[in-house]
Amino acid sequence: MMTIRRWSFLLPVMLLLSGCSLLPASPPVTFYRLPPPVPVASPAEKGDLTLRITRPEASGLLAGNRILVVPQGNQIGAYQGVRWVSPVPVLWRDQLIEAFQQDGRLRHVGSDGDNLPADMELGGVLRAFQSEYRQGRPVVVMRFDARLLDSKRRTLLASRRFEASVIAQDAEVSAVVAAFGVAHERLARELLDWLLVTGRR
Protein backbone atom coordinates (compact mmCIF):
# COMPACT_ATOMS: atom_id res chain seq x y z
CA MET A 1 0.00 0.00 0.00
CA MET A 2 2.86 2.39 0.87
CA THR A 3 4.54 1.67 -2.48
CA ILE A 4 1.37 2.52 -4.44
CA ARG A 5 0.87 5.74 -2.47
CA ARG A 6 4.49 6.72 -2.93
CA TRP A 7 4.32 6.23 -6.71
CA SER A 8 1.01 8.12 -6.95
CA PHE A 9 2.73 11.05 -5.28
CA LEU A 10 6.00 10.85 -7.20
CA LEU A 11 4.55 10.42 -10.71
CA PRO A 12 3.23 14.02 -11.11
CA VAL A 13 6.49 15.37 -9.71
CA MET A 14 8.53 13.31 -12.20
CA LEU A 15 6.39 14.51 -15.10
CA LEU A 16 6.92 18.14 -14.10
CA LEU A 17 10.66 17.69 -13.70
CA SER A 18 11.02 15.96 -17.05
CA GLY A 19 9.25 18.83 -18.83
CA CYS A 20 6.40 16.65 -20.04
CA SER A 21 3.15 18.41 -20.82
CA LEU A 22 -0.30 17.06 -21.41
CA LEU A 23 -1.31 20.32 -23.20
CA PRO A 24 -1.06 20.49 -27.01
CA ALA A 25 1.74 22.65 -28.40
CA SER A 26 0.68 26.10 -29.60
CA PRO A 27 0.87 26.52 -33.37
CA PRO A 28 3.63 28.87 -34.57
CA VAL A 29 2.71 32.48 -35.34
CA THR A 30 4.11 34.42 -38.31
CA PHE A 31 4.56 38.17 -37.86
CA TYR A 32 4.22 40.64 -40.73
CA ARG A 33 5.22 44.25 -41.19
CA LEU A 34 3.88 46.57 -43.87
CA PRO A 35 6.07 46.63 -47.00
CA PRO A 36 8.29 49.72 -47.01
CA PRO A 37 7.03 52.65 -49.10
CA VAL A 38 8.33 52.82 -52.68
CA PRO A 39 11.11 55.45 -52.90
CA VAL A 40 10.17 58.70 -54.63
CA ALA A 41 12.31 61.48 -56.09
CA SER A 42 13.15 63.94 -53.32
CA PRO A 43 12.25 67.62 -53.88
CA ALA A 44 15.00 70.11 -54.66
CA GLU A 45 14.69 71.54 -51.15
CA LYS A 46 12.69 70.73 -48.05
CA GLY A 47 9.71 72.78 -46.93
CA ASP A 48 9.66 74.72 -43.70
CA LEU A 49 6.79 72.88 -41.97
CA THR A 50 7.29 70.40 -39.14
CA LEU A 51 4.74 67.71 -38.28
CA ARG A 52 3.95 65.46 -35.35
CA ILE A 53 1.98 62.27 -36.10
CA THR A 54 0.07 60.70 -33.22
CA ARG A 55 -1.32 57.19 -32.93
CA PRO A 56 -4.85 57.20 -34.31
CA GLU A 57 -7.79 56.28 -32.14
CA ALA A 58 -9.05 52.75 -32.77
CA SER A 59 -11.51 50.48 -31.04
CA GLY A 60 -12.19 46.78 -30.71
CA LEU A 61 -10.11 44.47 -32.87
CA LEU A 62 -8.59 47.43 -34.70
CA ALA A 63 -6.64 48.30 -31.56
CA GLY A 64 -4.81 44.94 -31.56
CA ASN A 65 -2.28 43.29 -33.86
CA ARG A 66 -4.50 40.74 -35.61
CA ILE A 67 -4.75 40.89 -39.42
CA LEU A 68 -8.48 41.36 -39.82
CA VAL A 69 -10.73 39.93 -42.52
CA VAL A 70 -14.42 40.34 -43.32
CA PRO A 71 -15.43 37.07 -45.07
CA GLN A 72 -19.01 38.12 -45.72
CA GLY A 73 -21.69 40.55 -44.60
CA ASN A 74 -21.04 42.02 -41.17
CA GLN A 75 -18.90 39.14 -39.92
CA ILE A 76 -15.38 40.05 -38.89
CA GLY A 77 -12.56 37.69 -38.08
CA ALA A 78 -8.80 37.38 -38.32
CA TYR A 79 -6.33 35.34 -40.34
CA GLN A 80 -5.13 32.37 -38.33
CA GLY A 81 -1.49 32.00 -37.30
CA VAL A 82 -0.43 35.51 -38.37
CA ARG A 83 -0.07 38.88 -36.65
CA TRP A 84 1.17 42.37 -37.39
CA VAL A 85 4.50 43.14 -35.69
CA SER A 86 2.84 46.00 -33.74
CA PRO A 87 -0.68 47.01 -32.74
CA VAL A 88 -2.43 48.50 -35.78
CA PRO A 89 -2.45 52.15 -34.51
CA VAL A 90 1.34 52.01 -33.97
CA LEU A 91 1.89 50.25 -37.30
CA TRP A 92 -0.19 52.94 -39.03
CA ARG A 93 1.64 55.85 -37.39
CA ASP A 94 5.14 54.48 -37.98
CA GLN A 95 4.42 53.72 -41.65
CA LEU A 96 3.10 57.27 -42.17
CA ILE A 97 6.23 58.73 -40.58
CA GLU A 98 8.44 56.65 -42.87
CA ALA A 99 6.43 57.61 -45.96
CA PHE A 100 6.44 61.33 -45.12
CA GLN A 101 10.15 61.37 -44.27
CA GLN A 102 10.93 59.61 -47.52
CA ASP A 103 8.86 62.14 -49.49
CA GLY A 104 11.04 64.96 -48.17
CA ARG A 105 8.61 67.89 -48.47
CA LEU A 106 8.41 68.39 -44.71
CA ARG A 107 11.34 69.77 -42.74
CA HIS A 108 10.81 67.29 -39.93
CA VAL A 109 8.35 64.49 -39.13
CA GLY A 110 8.12 63.10 -35.59
CA SER A 111 5.81 61.05 -33.43
CA ASP A 112 3.89 61.58 -30.21
CA GLY A 113 6.70 59.72 -28.48
CA ASP A 114 9.57 62.12 -29.14
CA ASN A 115 7.97 65.33 -27.72
CA LEU A 116 9.76 67.58 -30.20
CA PRO A 117 8.09 70.89 -31.11
CA ALA A 118 6.07 70.89 -34.34
CA ASP A 119 3.96 73.33 -36.37
CA MET A 120 1.15 70.83 -36.97
CA GLU A 121 -0.14 67.65 -35.41
CA LEU A 122 -1.86 64.91 -37.39
CA GLY A 123 -4.24 62.62 -35.53
CA GLY A 124 -7.62 61.08 -36.11
CA VAL A 125 -9.67 57.91 -35.98
CA LEU A 126 -8.84 54.72 -37.86
CA ARG A 127 -12.19 53.33 -39.01
CA ALA A 128 -11.06 50.42 -41.19
CA PHE A 129 -7.82 48.48 -41.70
CA GLN A 130 -8.88 45.09 -43.01
CA SER A 131 -9.34 42.70 -45.89
CA GLU A 132 -12.92 42.32 -47.19
CA TYR A 133 -14.12 39.62 -49.54
CA ARG A 134 -15.99 41.08 -52.51
CA GLN A 135 -17.22 38.75 -55.25
CA GLY A 136 -14.90 36.08 -53.89
CA ARG A 137 -11.75 38.22 -53.92
CA PRO A 138 -9.95 39.84 -50.96
CA VAL A 139 -9.91 43.64 -51.09
CA VAL A 140 -7.86 45.61 -48.58
CA VAL A 141 -9.84 48.56 -47.20
CA MET A 142 -8.47 51.49 -45.19
CA ARG A 143 -10.54 54.36 -43.83
CA PHE A 144 -9.11 57.20 -41.77
CA ASP A 145 -10.82 60.31 -40.36
CA ALA A 146 -7.94 62.78 -40.22
CA ARG A 147 -7.65 65.80 -37.92
CA LEU A 148 -4.96 68.40 -38.49
CA LEU A 149 -4.21 70.64 -35.51
CA ASP A 150 -2.16 73.77 -34.95
CA SER A 151 0.25 72.38 -32.36
CA LYS A 152 0.87 75.67 -30.59
CA ARG A 153 -2.70 76.96 -30.38
CA ARG A 154 -4.25 73.46 -30.12
CA THR A 155 -6.90 74.48 -32.63
CA LEU A 156 -8.36 72.43 -35.47
CA LEU A 157 -7.01 73.47 -38.87
CA ALA A 158 -8.96 70.95 -40.98
CA SER A 159 -10.51 67.49 -40.96
CA ARG A 160 -11.27 65.04 -43.75
CA ARG A 161 -11.99 61.37 -44.39
CA PHE A 162 -9.49 59.40 -46.48
CA GLU A 163 -10.17 55.99 -48.01
CA ALA A 164 -8.19 53.52 -50.08
CA SER A 165 -8.97 50.04 -51.39
CA VAL A 166 -6.73 47.60 -53.26
CA ILE A 167 -7.57 44.16 -54.66
CA ALA A 168 -5.06 41.51 -53.55
CA GLN A 169 -3.42 39.38 -56.24
CA ASP A 170 -4.71 36.21 -54.56
CA ALA A 171 -6.03 34.95 -51.22
CA GLU A 172 -2.62 34.08 -49.73
CA VAL A 173 -1.75 36.10 -46.62
CA SER A 174 1.48 37.37 -48.21
CA ALA A 175 -0.50 38.77 -51.16
CA VAL A 176 -3.00 40.40 -48.79
CA VAL A 177 -0.15 42.00 -46.81
CA ALA A 178 1.31 43.34 -50.07
CA ALA A 179 -2.09 44.90 -50.86
CA PHE A 180 -2.08 46.52 -47.40
CA GLY A 181 1.22 48.15 -48.33
CA VAL A 182 -0.11 49.54 -51.63
CA ALA A 183 -3.31 50.84 -49.99
CA HIS A 184 -1.38 52.59 -47.21
CA GLU A 185 1.00 54.16 -49.72
CA ARG A 186 -1.88 55.58 -51.77
CA LEU A 187 -3.63 56.94 -48.72
CA ALA A 188 -0.40 58.42 -47.32
CA ARG A 189 0.25 60.26 -50.59
CA GLU A 190 -3.23 61.83 -50.59
CA LEU A 191 -2.94 62.67 -46.91
CA LEU A 192 0.42 64.40 -47.32
CA ASP A 193 -0.74 66.48 -50.30
CA TRP A 194 -3.78 67.60 -48.30
CA LEU A 195 -1.93 68.59 -45.15
CA LEU A 196 0.78 70.46 -47.07
CA VAL A 197 -1.85 72.61 -48.79
CA THR A 198 -3.71 73.12 -45.52
CA GLY A 199 -0.53 73.91 -43.57
CA ARG A 200 0.61 76.57 -46.05
CA ARG A 201 -2.70 78.37 -45.72
Report if residue 40 sits inside a domain. no
The DSSP line for 106-170 is SSEEEETTT----SEEEEEEEEEEEEEEETTEEEEEEEEEEEEEETTTTEEEEEEEEEEEEE-SS
Distance CA 7, CA 14 (A): 10
Report if residue 103 sits inside a domain. yes
Report if residue 18 sits inside a domain. no
Least trusted range by pLDDT, from 6-10, 64-68, 70-74, 171-175: 6-10
Could you tell me the CATH number of the domain that includes residue 90?
Answer: 3.40.50.10610
Q: Is the CB of residue 191 less than 8 Å from the CB of residue 162? A: yes
Number of domains in the chain: 1
The pTM score is 0.84
Q: What is the pLDDT of residues 98-118, one digit of tens each?
A: 999 999 999 999 998 887 889
pLDDT for 43 equals 62
Tell me which residue range forms the domain holding 146: 50-200
